[in-house]
Amino acid sequence: MANTETDSAQRRVLAVLAVVRIVWGVITALASARVHRIGGMDYPGPDGGVWIKAFGVRDVVLGAAALHPDESVRRATWKAGIAMDLFDAGAVIFSARQGMPGRAARIGFLMAGGAAAFATAGPGVLRMVEGRRSDRVTP
């Protein structure tokens, strides 16, 4: 595949993740109590709710950086996002073993793991699907 096709697929996947991260970040920063209730957790916790707000701000910043016009910034953000999502998935597993409600653990793991999987595999899957579409088109 040409490098421009790789960059195009990766950029489109990153743009989707960026929008999702920004929306989720705003929700977690501004509606922290609701996010906790959805997960079956009390709000605020012993930390006063600061960690969920910080998580939201982190996702807004990460989402905004993923939309940066400079390719090197987008690529670094893509890699950092995958690393953070994998770390988040691990933190959720650890927290579940420490008593985090099961519903919150399932939601957290699906979101973090899903984001990491989508960021990692998404560009390749998108190129594969587009390649199959172009094979069907006959002149």
Residue boundaries of the structural domains of the chain = 3-124
Q: Is 26 exposed, middle or buried (0-12, 13-18, 19+ CB in 10 A)?
A: middle
Residue type, position 95, single letter: S
Closest CA to 66 of 84, 54, 90: 84
Write down the pLDDT at residue 1: 41
Q: Which of 17-21, 106-110, 119-123, 133-137 is predicted with the least confidence, judged by mean pLDDT?
A: 133-137
| pTM for the whole structure | 0.80
Write down the pLDDT at residue 139: 53
Extract the tokens encoding 121: 């595999």
What does the pLDDT average to over 95-118? Answer: 92
- Count CB neighbours of 100 within 10 A: 19
Extract the tokens encoding 98: 């420490």
